[in-house]
Amino acid sequence: MRIPVHGTTLACDEYGSGTPLVLVHGTGAQASSWGGTVHDLAAGGHRVLAYDRRGYGRSTHPPVRDYRVHVADLAAVIEHVGAPVHVLGWSSGGNTALACAVERPELFRSLVVAEAPWHGLRGATPSLLAALARAKVAQARGRRPEAAAAFFRWATGWADGGNGFDPLPPEAKGELYANAPSVLAELGVHPYGLMMEHVPTARLARIPVPVTWLLGGRSIGWYAALYRRVAAVVPGLQTEIVDGAGHLLHVEQPEAFAKAVLAGVARGA
């Protein structure tokens, strides 16, 4: 399926039937990065729609730094498939979904967020700043895959050492490397960047549908610290811990991840 949005079209894959569930991938990923999760979610009685964000995968477009564009694209996707829908957003896709729910709440039935880096610059750690510096140095030397990998290793780091990026199969890494231009564009400082610093956290409290937040039990503490800031202001926020998973929750613990997502979606049934 191709979905028309302003200035381009977005590639979208569809699985199953039932109430629509739209999947929004994170930085570096694409629709195929969800792997078998799409089938697990479809088996739960949903029409699962996983799209390639603008500039990723098959949705060809120059890299986008202004995340307001991605938010508008998500709204267009939902309107195309038939609002209201359930939405699952992972990583920066979670930020996209949160911002869209603030701006267009009527499009949503429920929202499930997986380790969104909400206001991540305000919560920046020395390790994050070091990873960004490594990525930018490699980029300046013309080594885009190396630059992207520096960021991926940090973002998928495990609290007990190691990371989720290095064990990925070659084809999965190949997808991430292919999306390196968009990744590196998004990592640049921008007033409307991927960390959603321009959207006040207090506005999340006005999202009128159930919000469920997933955290990997093995993830670095940065994600949980950002989550706690949101949880402090959003009434009724449901939290699910996916044990044994880092930031790549759907890759490292796919069955537990799908179960947690479906539980969150059921809150908006």
pLDDT digits (tens, 9 = 90+) for 223-249: 999 999 999 999 899 999 999 999 999
Query: Which pLDDT score, from 0 to 100, does residue 191 have?
Result: 96
Tell me which residue of 114, 113, 109, 46 sits closest to 267, measured CA to CA.
109
Say if residue 178's pLDDT is above 90: yes
How many C-beta atoms surround the C-beta of residue 200 within 10 A?
12
> Position 128: which residue type?
L
How many C-beta atoms surround the C-beta of residue 231 within 10 A?
16
Q: What is the mean pLDDT of residues 247-254?
A: 98
Over residues 58-73, the pLDDT tens digits come to: 999 999 999 999 999 9
What rounded mean pLDDT belongs to the chain?
A: 97
Token code pair at residue 25: 């991938």
Q: What is the mean pLDDT of residues 249-262?
A: 98
% of the chain surpassing 70 pLDDT: 100
Say if residue 269's pLDDT is above 90: no
| Residue listed under structure tokens 């070091």 | 130
At what angle are helices 144-155 and 170-178 packed, to 10 degrees?
Answer: 110
Q: What is the mean pLDDT of residues 140-148?
A: 94
Query: Which pLDDT score, from 0 to 100, does residue 26 have?
Result: 98
Query: Which pLDDT score, from 0 to 100, does residue 120 have?
Result: 97
Q: Burial level of 142, CB count in 10 A (0-12/13-18/19+)?
A: exposed
Domains of the chain as residue ranges with CATH: 2-123+191-266 (3.40.50.1820)
Q: What is the mean pLDDT of residues 144-171?
A: 96
Q: The sheet that has 85-90: what strands, in order across it?
A: 2-5, 8-15, 46-51, 19-24, 85-90, 108-114, 211-216, 238-242
* pLDDT band at residue 52 using 50, 70 and 90 as cut-offs: very high
Q: How far is CA 257 from the centre of its chain?
A: 14
Query: Which pLDDT score, from 0 to 100, does residue 189 have?
Result: 87
What span, in angstroms and rounded, lies between the C-alpha atoms of 98 and 87? 10
Query: Which pLDDT score, from 0 to 100, does residue 184 have?
Result: 95
Q: What is the mean pLDDT of residues 38-48?
A: 97
Tell me which residue of 227, 29, 246 sits closest to 157, measured CA to CA.
246
Q: How far is CA 189 from the centre of its chain?
A: 19
C-alpha dihedral sign at 80, 206, 94, 181: positive
Query: Which pLDDT score, from 0 to 100, does residue 183 have?
Result: 96
Over residues 1-31, the pLDDT tens digits come to: 999 999 999 999 999 999 999 999 999 999 9
Query: Which pLDDT score, from 0 to 100, does residue 83 have?
Result: 96
